Amino acid sequence: MTDVQIRTEGRAGRITLNRPEVLNALSWDMCLAIEVAVDAWATDPAIDLILLDAAPGRAFCAGGDILDMHKAGTEGRYDYGQRFWRDEYRLNAKLFRFPKPVVSFLHGFTMGGGVGLGCHASHRIVDDSSRIAMPECAIGLVPDVGGSLILARAPGRLGEYLGTTGARMGPGDAIHAGFADLYLPDGWDKLKAALCASGDATLADAAGQPPPKAPLADQQDEIDALFSGERLADIVAALAASTTPFAADARAALARNAPLPMACTVEILHRLGDDPSIDQALLMEYRFTHRALEQGDFVEGIRAQVVDKDRNPRWRHGAPGDVPAVDVANMLAPLPKGTPLPEVTP
């Protein structure tokens, strides 16, 4: 298919996202096509690694293609999203556990579904253009595609901060927070050619250069103090009591985003702990996303940000501090017995 170019080159299986006109948004068909290739290459002795990149432009992948999701939600076809997420999460888990090196080149925007593709690789390369984020709360969703695993493992309370605000990370911050591994400001084509010719992923390690400064590292103490609350309401109260510019920016971000997903994001990270498995993360995320079209703010978030673009969403809860604990519990409760779950366990 033209939206994603899948081929072998030398010792590498190559996957190139090819929808630059829509920031390489990830469609359902693209997920399924990539999974077929990943399954075949896992046991192919002629393939030593996967090389994952995207067509030149502004993004590696700025997220999932959600317009069809909005249409399905408005029509009451809630199973559409449930089936899509099950397939996508299965691919996320396979990339995380792939038995050979996966080298991803994350230029420009890497967000949402792009994180699920590129940030579970074994060698994640960024440059000065890279901007990585989990901005799902802005459209009524929680950070998913296994992103909660990376957020939970991030230093201190960075996970709570990045997950609720959707803050964008440059290359230094992305490496500091655990979303990337290697900084290479140029020479990507040369490295790709060498990887394909040799099948040796250690060439990527050798090519990496000292990363730029990570502003988040300097803000770590303040982030830990302000985002250490047990619930979203506690974080809101801590931010309200602070007069620093950082706190003001964080308050503004929380005021824009959907209160219920933010509250659930905090709860998800606390339930997962500091070192969850990919299975735990994806299955916890699915409790929310399974319900998102019918019971959450997702349809409204897509309408406000993508369809009508009025940037004036009408969230179910009035303010970030107003989400009752029972609403969080309902969104994250175990799904009823017999509900199909993502096949993410080995």
In the chain, where the domains are located = 4-332
**110 pLDDT tier (thresholds 50, 70, 90):** very high
Question: Does the domain made of 4-332 have the CATH classification 3.30.360.10?
Answer: no
Chain segment 274-326, per-residue pLDDT in tens: 999 999 999 999 999 999 999 999 999 999 999 999 999 999 998 998 999 99
Q: What pLDDT is attached to residue 138?
A: 96
State yes or no: pLDDT of 341 exceeds 90: yes
* pLDDT, tens digit, 9 for 90 and up, residues 4-40: 999 999 999 999 999 999 999 999 999 999 999 999 9
Confidence of residue 202 (pLDDT cuts 50, 70, 90): very high
- Provide the token pair at 257: 């985003």
> Residue 164: which of 120, 227, 113 has the closest Cα?
227
Q: Mean pLDDT, to the nearest integer, of 203-213?
A: 97
Please report the pLDDT score of residue 313 as a whole number: 95
Q: Is 275 exposed, middle or buried (0-12, 13-18, 19+ CB in 10 A)?
A: exposed
Residue 314: its pLDDT value, please? Answer: 95
Mean pLDDT, residues 260-269:
98
Query: CB neighbours of 190 closer than 8 A, spacing ≥ 6?
Result: none
Per-residue pLDDT at 143: 98
Does the global pTM surpass 0.75? yes
- Exposed/middle/buried for 64, CB within 10 Å: 0-12, 13-18, 19+? buried
pLDDT at 136 over 90: yes
